[in-house]
Structure 1
Amino acid sequence: MSTGSPVGSHRVVSPAGALPQAADRLDSDPDIADDEVRISVERLNLDAASYRQLHTAHGGDGEAIRAEVLAIIDRRGKMHNPVTGSGGMLIGTVDAVGPRSPLGLKAGQKVATLVSLTLTPLHIDDGLARWDGNSEQVPASGHAILFGRSIAAPLPDDLPEHLALAVLDVCGAPALVRRVVARRTHGATTVAVLGAAGKSGSLSLAAARDAHAAKVLAVVRDENEAAQLLGSGLADDIVVADATAPLPLARKVTEALDGRGADVTVVCVDVPGCEHGAILSTATGGTVIFFSMATSFPTAALGAEGLAADVEMLIGNGYVPGHADYALHLFRENPHLRDLFIDRVGTED
């Protein structure tokens, strides 16, 4: 048994010299190096941007969606959507632990991986036969490999697995929102969350509230989503707006925030084209946090330049120390979050 690279470069098939996330293909051989962990896969969670793209591309045809996901995994040795560049994460049971693994995992533990499927060697052996292709969560059988610098969290005992998976899938968002809001020292902070009724959006609302934001504004796409948030206590105000329409969006946000942009704007919308609206909705000297994998970062950078917008722009990279525990804490503390997540991912199978 050999020692692998802690970042997984030994698993890269092509191109030579790439790290796993940037690789075209990974080696998903089940034999592990002495610092790796093998997971017996039970459920995948496709990220929202990836699933939306697949659903749109195939007109909602579940069989076609399932076939494409299988083809991607087979071709690339990982779930890495070539259109969106995103993947998701998974839950499963620890099957084998190398003697030099630093992750602290034990065989038989039920865990969620907190690293993207775009860099996780993955093999599926059941053809995804239990998945109808019409949900982000994918019952599956196979194995996945974690490296020395991967991250995984034991699944909590007090939550159904499908809900725990949904929370942990987006746990980087609320932790970063709390950090950004808490660090602002220039007076009362206002926060606008675009895509506020979704998983990362609703948790971001809760985090902004937890960080004592002066005003929390929820921006949703339609009246149905507004009704979901009404009375939840997660937001001080709710605005219905198309996040891909920059001028109307900015106008509605600034009207709701007494004539100025948000100090912190959080983008959790799973469709492209929200960059300029988010920038225009943010006050001078404010911060835009992009959590959506549908974001075009060149569009954001060049758009801010072209709009002469003095804003800080952050990429939500999905990892903040303590992010899993914090997201689960918020979820347990607010029953409205549970209702929102059940609306999104359904009741347990």
Structure 2
Amino acid sequence: MTSPIGLHRVLEPSGVLPQAARRLDNSPEIGADEVRIAVERLNLDAASFRQLSTKHAGDGAAVRGEVLEIIGARGKMQNPVTGSGGMLIGTVEAVGPESPLGLKVGDRVATLVSLTLTPLSISDGLKHWDGGSEQVPCEGHAILFARSIAAVLPADLDPELALAVMDVCGAPALTARVVGRYDNPTVAVIGGAGKSGSLSLAAAKAAGASRTVGVVPVERERVMLADAALADVVALADARNPVALAEAVEAALGGRAADVTVVCVDVPGCEHGAILSTADGGTVIFFSMATSFAAAALGAEGLAADVTMLVGNGYVPGHAAYALDLLRQVPAVRAMFESRLHHEASRATSGTAD
């Protein structure tokens, strides 16, 4: 008998949910309420890919080898260091008669649940991936449970573009929800030039932010974000330096802290700076899987900071449609996503890595 949350796929240890399991059953046979996807492409989450690339000093072959090793050993893609995974796109090839997901054979879909809990098997050795980008072309299969979430890919967008947006679609949706609870708030987005950051800036403005600040770590990203005009002010600061980050945000906001701070960077050590950058009564939203939530909680206590801290769990009802609509409606966001994908494609073609 199958479990709607996938308990029957847990091989070890027993009694835990699939996300916490060390190993899943990734066999292709499906239960009555399961769906099997023929996988076309993985999108590794940014924190996981950065950790792997850094560990192997940009050696794509070594990164590819470790990803294969992780999937082979665990039956899913879950980076043992970051604990994170990513998502995938593919084509539905089998649907159990009791599946509630509303999918049919032949649908091209993006999974909106993490690879850390998705049974996954790779059959082509990742031979078409150079290990140098987050998007991983591949062949294999994945299993969705009754409580999984998937979205049919929109016909008007390139699948790679849609995948890149859906990978971070929880960020703009939750940002819009939080910003909408305030009266004309100021919003700082740490990592504003990235995928989730650019969408969150657009969402904040659409939801009624009176002033937005995009914080980036390097001049190249400052110029890119300023040219896109997604933020009212672009600030240059290392988010790992708490005082420098808080000073940069306050300077951009005329001497005050932000009402809402959104953390979208994929490096550790940004918790205290985000808290210092947020006004009393404000909210910090942590979207990065590199976040130490213990450091955030203890840091807020130690700073006597009266802030609400939220963990962006990647799911808000309607989040995929909302993010895709932002992409369609805000040309600057779309341009940034397409530029990123073009850069990754060019790097793969030339055989170089950043």
TM-score normalised by structure 2 residue count? 0.96
Identical amino acids, percent of aligned pairs:
69
The letter for the 2-side match of 1:299 is: A
Alpha-carbon spacing, 1:258–1:348, altered in 2? closer, same or farther (3 Å): closer
Query: What does the per-residue CA deviation read over 1:42-71, in whole Å, with 9 as the maximum and x for residues that have no partner?
Result: 000000000000000000000000000000
Instruction: Report the CA distance between 1:183 and its aligned residue.
Output: 1.4
Answer yes or no: is the 8 Å Cα contact 2:161–2:341 preserved in 1: yes
* Aligned position for 2:168: 170
Q: In the alignment, does 2:283 pair up with 1:287?
A: yes
1:136-147 aligned at under 5 Å gives the runs 136-147=134-145
Query: What is the rounded CA distance, in whole Å, between the counterparts of 1:217 and 1:249 in structure 2?
Result: 12
Query: What does the per-residue CA deviation read over 1:140-171, in whole Å, with 9 as the maximum and x for residues that have no partner?
Result: 00000000000000001111111110000000
Which is further off, 197-206 or 225-234?
A: 225-234
* Aligned position for 1:25: 23
Query: What is the rounded CA distance, in whole Å, between the counterparts of 2:85 and 2:339 in structure 1?
Result: 22
Q: In the alignment, does 2:261 pair up with 1:265?
A: yes
Answer yes or no: is the 8 Å Cα contact 1:135–1:345 preserved in 2: no
* Aligned position for 1:110: 108
Q: Between Structure 1 and Structure 2, how many residues are aligned? A: 345
* Aligned position for 1:60: 58
The letter for the 2-side match of 1:197 is: A
2:150 corresponds to which of 145, 149, 152: 152
* Aligned position for 2:80: 82
Instruction: Report the CA distance between 1:226 and its aligned residue.
Output: 1.1
Query: What is the rounded CA distance, in whole Å, between the counterparts of 1:58 and 1:347 in structure 2?
Result: 21
* Aligned position for 1:191: 187
Instruction: Report the CA distance between 1:271 and its aligned residue.
Output: 0.3
* Aligned position for 1:127: 125
Q: Which runs of 5+ in 1 are unaligned?
A: none
Query: What is the rounded CA distance, in whole Å, between the counterparts of 2:342 and 2:149 in structure 1?
Result: 27
What secondary structure is seen at the aligned counterpart in 2 of 1:45?
Answer: strand
What secondary structure is seen at the aligned counterpart in 1 of 2:228?
Answer: coil
2:272 corresponds to which of 269, 272, 276: 276
Q: In the alignment, does 2:323 pair up with 1:327?
A: yes
Q: Which runs of 5+ in 2 are unaligned?
A: 346-354
Answer yes or no: is the 8 Å Cα contact 1:126–1:140 preserved in 2: yes
The letter for the 1-side match of 2:184 is: A
Q: In the alignment, does 2:205 pair up with 1:209?
A: yes
Query: What is the rounded CA distance, in whole Å, between the counterparts of 2:140 and 2:248 in structure 1?
Result: 47
Query: What is the rounded CA distance, in whole Å, between the counterparts of 2:155 and 2:331 in structure 1?
Result: 17
What secondary structure is seen at the aligned counterpart in 1 of 2:180?
Answer: helix
Instruction: Report the CA distance between 1:90 and its aligned residue.
Output: 0.1
* Aligned position for 2:348: none
2:335 corresponds to which of 328, 334, 339: 339
* Aligned position for 2:351: none
What secondary structure is seen at the aligned counterpart in 2 of 1:101?
Answer: coil
Query: What is the rounded CA distance, in whole Å, between the counterparts of 1:319 and 1:256 in structure 2?
Result: 31
What secondary structure is seen at the aligned counterpart in 2 of 1:183?
Answer: coil
Query: What is the rounded CA distance, in whole Å, between the counterparts of 2:218 and 2:60 in structure 1?
Result: 25
The letter for the 2-side match of 1:327 is: A
Query: What is the rounded CA distance, in whole Å, between the counterparts of 2:27 and 2:259 in structure 1?
Result: 48
The letter for the 1-side match of 2:198 is: S
Q: In the alignment, does 2:65 pair up with 1:44?
A: no
What secondary structure is seen at the aligned counterpart in 1 of 2:259?
Answer: strand
Which is further off, 30-39 or 251-260?
A: 251-260
* Aligned position for 2:12: 14
Instruction: Report the CA distance between 1:348 and its aligned residue.
Output: 9.2
Answer yes or no: is the 8 Å Cα contact 2:133–2:344 preserved in 1: no
Answer yes or no: is the 8 Å Cα contact 2:77–2:85 preserved in 1: yes
Query: Could you list the runs of 4 or more consecutive aligned residues of structure 1 that deviate by over 3 angstroms after TM superposition?
Result: none
Q: In the alignment, does 2:246 pair up with 1:250?
A: yes
Instruction: Report the CA distance between 1:229 and its aligned residue.
Output: 1.4
The letter for the 2-side match of 1:167 is: V
